[in-house]
Amino acid sequence: MDRAVFFSTQAGRTIEVPRHARARFGIGDIVRHRMFDFRGVIFDIDPVFANSEEWYESIPEEIRPRRDQPFYHLLAENEDSSYVAYVSQQNLLADPEGGPVDHPQLSHLFEQFKNGRYRMRRALTH
């Protein structure tokens, strides 16, 4: 299988990625967690798991996601707080509410909310 390699500073290691990894969601999309009660806006995507081993091992084995799928960085919110989350594709659903997310860091990354999604600031795109 044709693979690419990159160094993940978050994981502190080299990650191998299939060249044809497919992300179901895109940057600016609003999603909801399949099992836990939170939603968020995607601000970055890893084509496969690229976090630390400690983080991965901290997830209970019976609900631990596969590594070989996209993982999404979210500006997340629930009823109590706002935070940054790292979630596997298998655990995300499109958010049926479609309304804006209330996160204090949102304006640092995104310009506007339009047609059910956020547009990333031009200065942050390549």
Q: Which residue reads 């990354």 in tokens?
A: 109
Q: How many domains does the chain have?
A: 1
Q: Note the pLDDT of residue 30.
A: 97
pLDDT tens-digit readout, 22-32: 899 999 999 99
In a domain, 120, yes or no: yes
Residue 60 lies in a domain: yes
Evaluate whether residue 16 is within a structural domain: no
Q: Is residue 55 part of a domain?
A: yes
| pLDDT interval class at 123 (50, 70, 90) | confident
Q: Residue 8: what pLDDT?
A: 63
Answer whether residue 4 is part of any domain: no
Q: Which domain holds residue 30?
A: 22-124
* Residue 12: inside a domain: no
Q: Is residue 75 part of a domain?
A: yes
Residue 22 has what pLDDT? Answer: 83
What CATH number corresponds to the domain at position 61?
A: 2.30.30.390
The yes-or-no verdict on residue 119 having pLDDT over 90 is yes
Local confidence band at 76 (pLDDT 50, 70, 90 cut-offs): very high
5 in any annotated domain: no
Q: Which residues pair with 88 in a beta bridge?
A: 71
